[in-house]
Amino acid sequence: RNDKALDGDEFTFLAKLVRDPASPILVSRRAAHALGHLRLTTTNLGQATELATLVATASPLQIAPLLRPFEILDPRDCPPGQLDSLGVQLAAALRKSPGRGSLRPDQAASLAAAFASSAPKAATALRTLTGPINTSGDREAKLSSLLGLVESGNASRGRVLFHANRATCALCHRVHGEGGALGPNLSKIGGIRSRKDLLEAIVFPSATVVNGFEAYLVTTTAGASHTGLVQRETAEAVYLRSTDQRLHRIPRKQISRMLRSPVSAMPEGLDGIFSDQELADLVAFL
């Protein structure tokens, strides 16, 4: 719940799990979600500063929950001068964050709005942030620049990367019996999709979403939001699996709105944590 700060030891423990590249993906993501429930006030501005520092190294899977406390920030809870400084620091962290590519324009606008009334410098800095490439022309140019490197891909290196902790691929996708089942099985994907299609699916996952794997946004009558893939539905409830693999049972009588998300459950910006050669290796493996 967004009603209190974590004590120092709790915050330090969770921050370490988020920051440590050796942390299992699910563990670090859940730690990021726990930090996302912070309410930032004058009593825990030190934690707010540390949270902004975490954003600078956050992966595409971590960045959204880490930004949530800043999006719901109430300017009345923080002195204006300190708020301005915090917002400028957050903008600087976002500019160099590996997860920045997954930041949607509406999220950048939401962050700027949170600082607009009391922290003009911060709001201006946050408004300059942009998310992923959205136009078809930009996408084609990006894909064309990468496609020329695909021939140099090494499938053996790609297999290691696919299952590596930082890549997160195997968290949701299965290949030849290994990996998760939240996303499509990719064991035979190379036989039915072109190299360009595979690159696009990695770099621009929301451009084309496989039928049956659409993400949904469910808002409850209490104001809570859940995002994930519908695993099953009954007359009484909807079962939604989030990207941290948790299954949420949401009673239908508590659902006020359920919409298909225009954004894939697979985060944008993964190309920001891979080199061009690593992308080529992944495509070669698939």
Topology of domain 136-208+267-285, CATH: Cytochrome Bc1 Complex; Chain D, domain 2 (1.10.760)
Q: Which two tokens stand for residue 202?
A: 């990695």
Residue 46's pLDDT band (boundaries 50, 70, 90)?
A: confident
Which residues have CB under 8 Å from 192's CB, separation 6+? none
Give phi and psi for 229, each to the nearest 5: -100, 135
Residue 183 has pLDDT above 50, yes or no: yes
Residue 200 CA to residue 207 CA, distance in Å, equals: 8
Residue 133 has pLDDT above 70, yes or no: no
> Residues 70-117: pLDDT tens digits?
988 887 887 777 888 888 899 999 988 888 877 776 777 888 888 887
* pLDDT for residue 115: 85
Topology of domain 215-260, CATH: SH3 type barrels. (2.30.30)
* pLDDT for residue 137: 66
Q: Tell me the three state secondary structure of residue 179.
A: strand
Per-domain residue ranges of the chain: 8-127, 136-208+267-285, 215-260
Mean pLDDT to the nearest integer, 187-194:
92
Q: Which two tokens stand for residue 110?
A: 């939401």
Q: Which two tokens stand for residue 170?
A: 């195997």
Residue 65 CA to residue 140 CA, distance in Å, equals: 30
> Residues 246-282: pLDDT tens digits?
899 999 999 999 999 877 888 777 777 788 899 999 9
Residue 1's pLDDT band (boundaries 50, 70, 90)?
A: very low
> Residues 28-42: pLDDT tens digits?
888 998 898 888 888
